[in-house]
Amino acid sequence: MLGKTTHKAFFLVPPEVQLLDLTGPAHLFYEAKEYGAPIDIHYLSLGDEKECVSSAGISLGQLKAFDQFELTENDLLFLPGLESHLFFDEAFVTKLRPFFDWLEKQAERGAKVCSVCTGAYFLGLAGLLDHKFCTTHWKYLKDFQERFPKAKLLSDRLLVKDGNLYSSAGVSSGIDLTLYLLEELFGSIFAAKIAKEVVIYFRRTENDPQLSVFLQYRNHVENRIHQVQDELAQNLAQKQKIEELAEIVHMSPRNLTRLFRKTTGITIGDYLEKLRVEHAVQLLSAGSKVNTAAMACGLQSSNQLRSLLRKHKSVLPSQLRS
């Protein structure tokens, strides 16, 4: 049931805003409105300016000053990320004091205040995160914790809810957060319709990690190991021998095995298992049959895949743990 209560969705458009942080959630609310949800959408500036230039150089106009509005518990406010140098500029932060005061009042009034990526700095600077659980982009975790030591910062989390404060890790997780909110407001069936409309079939949840295993263990400069990781990830359906991998990078199997573990911190076998588990979860969550997923992951049978998933049960989405 969509209900009759109108929900106002406000999107802050700060200078040098990260486009996907803003437009991803905004587009989903637009689609929800098109599907009949009682939503009004507004775009806010940090002052009197009616136009702001994004970090990508695109101008965004028809903005309204934030202080024209008072939000209620039926409303939502999205705070997207922006170029980090602005948060490190004391003059810029000092200039925002009226906005931070306003933001604090809207949170006290019960509005759902939602940050995407470095938008969490708005919450922190407004003093809203003391003793609150939150997250932000993985690159800024250390700085964020140092700046806001009272915040209960959660690393390796896509999205976090604490009361009426919501935070997400960045870019695509802002879309995950929006679907989470649409589900809260209008139910899971409606949220699924919106996900399907924008061709998002695999919804991530607040328990999923920020970084895919396809991106983890890649923070190194050893090109030969990158080549092996690429080979494994791009050919999961094929069974590859250590000798074949070693030949690709012109090393002996023994040296490759040693260098891989030294460089990534895990063995080739463990890395391959993690790749298979994540790929299987993606396929199964999108509706693939167990046997099809097993073959796509280079396993010989559905039983072999079930055994692998049981072994890694702790990292599985809740719907795949039974």
59 by DSSP, 3-state: which? strand
CB contact at 8 A, 48 and 84: no
pLDDT digits (tens, 9 = 90+) for 198-219: 866 445 556 565 556 655 787 6
Residues 6+ apart with CB under 8 A from 22: 11, 13, 54, 60, 78, 80, 116
- Torsion angle, alpha carbons of 124, 9, 170, 34, to 10: 170
Q: Which residues of 134-166 are buried (b: 16+ CB within 10 A; e: fewer)?
A: bbbbeebbeebbeebeebebbeebbbbbbebbb
- How far CA 319 is from CA of 6, 281, 316, in Å, comes to 32, 10, 8
pLDDT of residue 189: 73
Burial (CB < 10 A; 0-12, 13-18, 19+), residue 221, is: exposed
- For residue 174, give the nearest of 112, 81, 106 by alpha carbon: 81
| Cα–Cα distance, 38 to 53 (Å, whole number) | 30
- Spot the catalytic one: 114, 117, 134, 297: 117
Q: Which structure tokens are listed for 298?
A: 């280079």
Which parts of 97-162 are beta strand (E)? 112-116, 133-134, 152-153, 159-162
When pLDDT is cut at 50, 70 and 90, the band that residue 239 belongs to is confident
pLDDT digits (tens, 9 = 90+) for 40-83: 999 999 998 999 999 999 999 999 999 999 999 999 999 999 99
Residues 6+ apart with CB under 8 A from 164: 73, 107, 110, 111, 112, 113
pLDDT digits (tens, 9 = 90+) for 112-121: 999 999 999 9
Domains and CATH numbers, the chain: 7-197 (3.40.50.880), 223-320 (1.10.10.60)
Average pLDDT over residues 309-316: 76
pLDDT digits (tens, 9 = 90+) for 7-36: 999 999 999 999 999 999 999 999 999 999
Burial (CB < 10 A; 0-12, 13-18, 19+), residue 131, is: exposed
29 by DSSP, 3-state: which? helix
pLDDT of residue 131: 97
pLDDT of residue 188: 72
| Cα–Cα distance, 41 to 35 (Å, whole number) | 14
pLDDT of residue 316: 62
Q: Which structure tokens are listed for 30?
A: 């637009």
Burial (CB < 10 A; 0-12, 13-18, 19+), residue 191, is: buried
| Cα–Cα distance, 303 to 44 (Å, whole number) | 53
How many residues comprise the chain?
322
pLDDT of residue 321: 56
When pLDDT is cut at 50, 70 and 90, the band that residue 128 belongs to is very high
The verdict on whether 117 is a catalytic residue reads yes
249 vs 319, higher pLDDT = 249
Give the lowest-confidence range in 128-132, 143-147, 183-187, 294-298: 183-187
When pLDDT is cut at 50, 70 and 90, the band that residue 220 belongs to is confident
pTM (2 decimals)? 0.69
DSSP 99: H
263 vs 200, higher pLDDT = 263
